[in-house]
Amino acid sequence: MATAIKVVFGLLTFVTIGMIIGTGLPSSRKMQQIQAEGYLPLSTGIVGWGNDKEAALLRLGLSSTIMVTPTLSQRADAVDEKIGEVETRLQTIEHKFDLQETHLKTIAEKIGAQETTIERAVQAPVAGVLEVERKRTKDVLARTTTRLEERIDRFRIEHERLAAIERENNLKLREEIKKTIARGQGTRPPPVIQPIPINVEAEGSHNQGNGENEECDYLRAIALPRLQVSTVVDTKTGKGVRSEVRTSSGMFLHPDERKYPLIEAIEKRISVYSQVPAENGELIQVLRYEKDQFYKPHHDYFSDSFNVKRGGQRVATMLMYLSDNVEGGETYFPMAGSGECSCGGKMVSGMSVKPLKGDAVLFWSMGLDGQPDPRSLHGGCEVLSGEKWSATKWMRQRALA
């Protein structure tokens, strides 16, 4: 019995020694490295999981330094388990994302509803305001159209009335006057200075109505942006030059503007009253005199030979007043009378005409003998306050080309 036990023990000892010799024992240094790394390299070359908890659970004893590496199937199971955990987390994230997306859609729908409500709330009053403004504009346009039609009718009636007056005038007398002026024959009557209205409803009456104001305002409106410093005629060259004699500003209408119905009506009226054909008239000049401005006494007829070549000498002048509320600014004729009158706040000898909107002064610069009349001397008195607007129409012996 004892002998048998010894034999078995010897065989086991022999086998153990053989295994130790065949595999070799790790050195103490390598054992320390293995203990530090926490695993043993497998003979198959598969690296163990030093940081894996599953591998740590397979240690043989807490104090043992030899770790049993899990098999490939165990590692695969562990990987599958981790993948499952990741998939579960992804599903959880996707679910949260879906909930958040649904929440955002709900918020967007609420915002859209609020925008629609706000838009309707804003559009309602705006639409009302637009409708009111549209109606008001339509009414204004209708009233303006009506006024324009009425003005056109008034101009047509005025034109027909003036034409009738002209036809009823003594044509023979007119022709005789024109022939006498052209021949330079006849006597030299005193200068005719007669204030008359530039717009009348009946011949010889004075009207301060809307039509008259419209004509005055119209002339001022087209002149205002074109005003320039006024000039006087140079007796040597016949050209316009600046002078201290005249301090106003003014402009001339364009020839095309004579075709405008309102301008045409004014010139027709001047022709009827002056008995001078409209084609003998120069272009209307509009003037503005501001405070302290004036035009010293002068004659309208020419003293040079240059200007009389076209249309002959100036025969008559129609001076029209376009503004009210002017202090001073009278038109002064020092040789037209022997009484006293006011001129720019001073009392002087002669005759003066106060500027009143819608009035006009017609006077002659040439006698029937064809000679210039020095008694037609006149000037624009100094303006003390306000603005004096006037329009001047000079008429010649012959038609202007």
Q: Kindly report the CATH number assigned to the domain that includes residue 222.
A: 2.60.120.620
Provide the pLDDT for residue 247. Answer: 83
Provide the pLDDT for residue 143. Answer: 84
- Euclidean distance between CA atoms 248 and 67, whole angstroms: 121
* Residue 16 φ/ψ region, left for φ over 0, alpha for ψ in the -120 to 50 degree band, beta for the rest: alpha
The answer as to whether 8 is a domain residue is yes
- The pLDDT of 349-373, averaged and rounded, is 89
Instruction: Give residue-wise pLDDT tens across range 281-309.
Output: 999 999 999 999 999 999 999 988 888 88
The answer as to whether 100 is a domain residue is no
Provide the pLDDT for residue 183. Answer: 53
The answer as to whether 377 is a domain residue is yes
Residues 235 and 366 in one domain: yes
Asked which of 46, 73, 100 is the last residue of a domain, the reply is: 73
Confirm if 262 and 199 have CB atoms less than 8 A apart. Answer: no
Residues 54 and 187 in one domain: no
Provide the pLDDT for residue 208. Answer: 42
Pick the range with the lowest mean pLDDT from 57-61, 127-131, 354-358: 57-61
4-18, 141-155, 226-240: which is most confident? 141-155
The answer as to whether 146 is a domain residue is no
Provide the pLDDT for residue 101. Answer: 79
Count CA atoms closer than 13 A to 58's CA, side-chain side.
18
* Whole-Å CA distances, 236 to 106, 245, 371: 94, 17, 20
The answer as to whether 134 is a domain residue is no
Asked which of 11, 45, 73 is the last residue of a domain, the reply is: 73
- The pLDDT of 366-380, averaged and rounded, is 88
| 11 against 377, higher pLDDT | 377
The answer as to whether 346 is a domain residue is yes
Provide the pLDDT for residue 105. Answer: 81
Asked which of 57, 73, 89 is the last residue of a domain, the reply is: 73
- Euclidean distance between CA atoms 302 and 216, whole angstroms: 28
Residue 273's pLDDT band (cuts 50, 70, 90): confident
Pick the range with the lowest mean pLDDT from 45-54, 149-158, 199-208: 199-208
What is the C-alpha end-to-end distance of the chain, expressed in Å?
A: 168
Provide the pLDDT for residue 339. Answer: 87
Residue 347's pLDDT band (cuts 50, 70, 90): very high
Pick the range with the lowest mean pLDDT from 15-19, 185-189, 293-297: 185-189
Confidence check: pLDDT of 20 > 70:
no
Confidence check: pLDDT of 333 > 90:
yes
- The pLDDT of 320-328, averaged and rounded, is 94
Residue 39's pLDDT band (cuts 50, 70, 90): very low
- Euclidean distance between CA atoms 198 and 262, whole angstroms: 12
The answer as to whether 92 is a domain residue is no
Provide the pLDDT for residue 289. Answer: 95
Residues 189 and 44 in one domain: no
| 351 against 142, higher pLDDT | 351
Q: Mean of the per-residue pLDDT values for the chain?
A: 74
- Give the domain extent around 337: 169-396
Instruction: Give residue-wise pLDDT tens across range 143-172.
Output: 888 887 887 777 778 777 776 766 665 555
Provide the pLDDT for residue 336. Answer: 84
Residue 317's pLDDT band (cuts 50, 70, 90): very high
> Residue 230: is it exposed, middle or buried by C-beta count within 10 angstroms (0-12/13-18/19+)?
buried
Provide the pLDDT for residue 214. Answer: 85
Instruction: Give residue-wise pLDDT tens across range 83-107.
Output: 777 778 777 877 777 787 787 888 8
Residues 280 and 392 in one domain: yes
Domain count for the chain, please give it.
Answer: 2
Residues 218 and 344 in one domain: yes
Residue 209's pLDDT band (cuts 50, 70, 90): very low
The answer as to whether 176 is a domain residue is yes
